[in-house]
Structure 1
Amino acid sequence: MQAQIENTAGKRLWIKLSAVAVVVALAVGGYMSMSNTHAAPDVSFTNLKGEQVSLKSMRGKVVMVNFWATSCTTCVAEMPQMVQTYNAYKDKGLDYVAVAMSYDQPNYVVNFVQTRSLPFQVTLDTQSKLADAFGDVRLTPTTFVIDKQGNIIKRYVGEPKFAELHALLDKALAT
């Protein structure tokens, strides 16, 4: 009888310890997945000026890659703040690439860029190669912030909270 009680108590202790270990493993895994950065894809594109540019060539700068479309009302609405953000941070080491989605009419994109005097690089993703490389981007706007080492540190789906974005850029540019 005493052996049965000790055996049952030992099983309970083992179950409790196993449960604690699972909880700790899940917590650590969750924390690591939130804190880990991952490398931005090694992509190249041709900007509207006809220049071939690789994302890798921008290492050493913080880069924002913004997927957008002229038919996206949120994209059009956020663009003036994106321009302001770029202008405020470009001399501190920010680069910016606006990627027009494959369904966007090239002549609409060119017209938008010209009439709004967009100061940063713009590219047409006519075959969705860039959208696919960044994880099959479908929703616009989607913006990635990439650190100086080429790691994605933030992904915004929808218009970012610009105060939060600016704080992130301040931090990324300071390192």
Structure 2
Amino acid sequence: MPMRLGTERPEIVGATEWFAQDQLPADLTGKTVLVHFWAVSCHICHETMPELIKYRDQYKEQGLELIGVHQPRYEADSDLERIKADIEKYGISHPLAVDNEQKIAEAYQNEYVPAFYLFNAEGKLFFRTAGDKGFEKLQPKIEQALGL
């Protein structure tokens, strides 16, 4: 069953590897947080990544925190070199957890990539969506959660 709106944001624990973890605020209280699940083998993930990076930069000053979670779909997705290549290609400078053991995906009850979980400043799930059609609905919800 998918995570219900209003659910508290689960902690992001169980990552097998972190990139840019030093960019993750020690305390996310009062922050609007977007958790993005993706995989290197996902074509739609690659198509939406540039726009997502644009949102990250566009709404940073208004308080948006983007946290990536790489959720492998296949054994080959666990290859850190492939993940590093995408980090470089797309300019992923936000915190990125590698979830090779699916512990974060389990905590978020996530089955899809790309998937987006938007939490408001109170730490409650405000919006969730997946796929390219769902991604089209994300920007207005980010603005709504930020009070813009």
Q: Same fold (TM over 0.5)?
A: yes
Match of 1:72, as an amino acid? Answer: C
- Match of residue 47, structure 2, among 66, 77, 89: 77
What is the number of residues matched between the two proteins? 138
Which residues in structure 2 correspond to 1:82-121 (within 5 Å)? Answer: 82-102=52-72, 103=74, 104=77, 105-121=79-95
State the structure with bigger RCO (CA 8 A, min sep 6), 1 or 2.
Answer: 2
Q: Is the counterpart of residue 146 in structure 1 residue 119 in structure 2? A: yes
The answer (yes or no) to whether the contact 1:47–1:53 under 8 Å persists in 2 is no
The answer (yes or no) to whether the contact 2:68–2:94 under 8 Å persists in 1 is yes
Question: Shift in Å at residue 169 of structure 1?
Answer: 1.5
The percentage of aligned residue pairs carrying the same residue is 23
Match of 1:172, as an amino acid? Answer: A
Q: Is the counterpart of residue 158 in structure 1 residue 131 in structure 2? A: yes
- Which deviates more from structure 2 when the two are superposed, residues 82-91 or residues 109-118? 109-118
Sort the Cα spacing of 1:52 and 1:116 in 2 relative to 1 into closer, same or farther, 3 A.
closer
Query: Structure 1: how far apart are the matches of 2:91 and 2:135?
Result: 23
Q: Is the counterpart of residue 125 in structure 1 residue 67 in structure 2? A: no
Alignment deviations for residues 66-94 of structure 1 (CA, whole Å, 9 cap, x no partner): 11001000001000010111111011100
Query: Structure 2: how far apart are the matches of 1:38 and 1:165?
Result: 18
- Aligned residue for 2:11? 42
The two structures have a TM-score, normalised by structure 2, of 0.81
The answer (yes or no) to whether the contact 2:33–2:120 under 8 Å persists in 1 is yes
Q: More helix per residue: 1 or 2?
A: 1
Root-mean-square deviation (CA, aligned residues, Å) is: 2.3
